[in-house]
A and B are shown apart, each in its own frame.
Chain A
Amino acid sequence: MKKIRWGTLVAYIVLAIFAIITVFPFVYMILGGLMSFRETTTIPPTLIPKHFEWSNYAKVFAQAPFARYFLNTFITASVTTIVSLFNALLGAFAMVNLKFKGKGVVQVVLLSLLMVPGEAIIFTNYNTIARIGLLNTYIGLVLPFLTSIFYMYYLQSYFGSISQTIYKAAMIDGASDWEYIWRILVPMSKGGLFTVALLSFISGWNSFLWPLLVTNEDSMRLLNNGLTSFASDAGSETQLQLAAATLTVLPILILYFIFRKRIIRGVVRNDLKG
Chain B
Amino acid sequence: MNDDKFVEVKNLKKVYDNGHEAIKDVSFSVKKGDLVCLLGPSGCGKTTILNMLAGLLNPTSGDILFDSKSVVNVAPKDRQIGYVFQNYALYPHMTVLQNVMFPLTVGKQKMPKDKAKEIAEKYMETTQITELADQKPGNLSGGQQQRVAIARALVQQPKILLMDEPLSNLDARLRLKIREEIRNLVKKVGITTLFVTHDQEEALSIGDKIILFNNGVIQQDDMGQNFYLEPNNYFVANFVGNPVIDNFKVNVKDGKITGSDFEINVDDLDKSRFKRDLTNGEYTLSVRPENILPAETGHVSAKIDDVELIGRERILKFTHDGVQARSLVDLETPIKRGDNVNLKMRLDRVFLFTKEGERVY
- Please report A residues at the B interface, Cβ cutoff 8 Å: 163, 165-166, 168-176, 179, 183-184, 187-188, 190
The verdict on B82 contacting chain A, using a C-beta distance below 8 Å, is: yes
Fill in one digit per residue for B225-252: 1 if any A CB lies within 8 Å of its CB, else 0.
0000000000000000000000000000
The verdict on B77 contacting chain A, using a C-beta distance below 8 Å, is: yes
**Which of B101-109, B329-337, B352-360 faces chain A?**
B101-109
A-B contact pairs, 27 of them (CB 8 A): A163-B87, A165-B85, A166-B91, A168-B51, A168-B54, A168-B56, A168-B76, A168-B83, A168-B85, A170-B102, A170-B106, A171-B56, A171-B77, A172-B76, A172-B82, A172-B83, A173-B107, A175-B77, A175-B102, A175-B106, A179-B106, A183-B102, A183-B106, A184-B91, A187-B93, A187-B94, A188-B91
Docked complex Cα distance between A124 and B87 (Å): 51
Docked complex Cα distance between A230 and B137 (Å): 56
Determine the chain A residues whose CB is within 8 A of the CB of B51 once the complex forms: 168
Chain A nearest CB, measured from B113 CB (Å): 13
The verdict on B156 contacting chain A, using a C-beta distance below 8 Å, is: yes
Fill in one digit per residue for B1-13: 1 if any A CB lies within 8 Å of its CB, else 0.
0000000000000
Determine the chain A residues whose CB is within 8 A of the CB of B91 once the complex forms: 166, 169-170, 184, 188
**Complex contact A171–B106 (CB within 8 A):** no
Size bracket, chain B contacts? 20 to 34
**Complex contact B76–A171 (CB within 8 A):** yes
The verdict on B89 contacting chain A, using a C-beta distance below 8 Å, is: yes
Determine the chain B residues whose CB is within 8 A of the CB of A176 once the complex forms: 106-107
Q: List 5 A-B pairs, minimum CB-CB distance, nearest first.
A: A174-B107, A173-B103, A174-B77, A169-B89, A165-B89
Determine the chain B residues whose CB is within 8 A of the CB of A169 once the complex forms: 83, 85, 89, 91, 152
Among B54, B94, B103, point to the contact of A174 (Cβ < 8 A).
B103
Is chain B's interface secondary structure helix, strand, loop, or mixed overall?
A: loop
Docked complex Cα distance between A188 and B136 (Å): 13
Chain A nearest CB, measured from B147 CB (Å): 15
Residue of B at shortest CB range from A167?
Answer: B89
Within 8 A of A (CB), among B90-137: 91-94, 102-103, 106-109
**Complex contact A172–B107 (CB within 8 A):** no
**Complex contact B107–A175 (CB within 8 A):** yes
Fill in one digit per residue for B129-157: 1 if any A CB lies within 8 Å of its CB, else 0.
00000000000000000000000100010
Given A174-B106, A183-B106, do A188 and B93 touch, yes or no (CB 8 Å)?
yes
Most B-side CB within 10 Å, residue of A168, A173, A176, A187: A173
The verdict on B167 contacting chain A, using a C-beta distance below 8 Å, is: no
Docked complex Cα distance between A173 and B102 (Å): 7
Docked complex Cα distance between A52 and B110 (Å): 63
Residue of B at shortest CB range from A189?
Answer: B93
The verdict on B345 contacting chain A, using a C-beta distance below 8 Å, is: no
Determine the chain A residues whose CB is within 8 A of the CB of B109 once the complex forms: 174
Give 11 A-B pairs besides A172-B76, A173-B102, A176-B107 with Cβ atoms closer than 8 angstroms: A165-B89, A166-B89, A168-B56, A168-B89, A169-B91, A172-B81, A172-B83, A175-B107, A179-B107, A187-B94, A188-B92
Given A165-B85, A166-B91, do A172 and B54 touch, yes or no (CB 8 Å)?
yes
Docked complex Cα distance between A172 and B155 (Å): 12
**Complex contact A173–B85 (CB within 8 A):** no
Determine the chain B residues whose CB is within 8 A of the CB of A166 once the complex forms: 89, 91
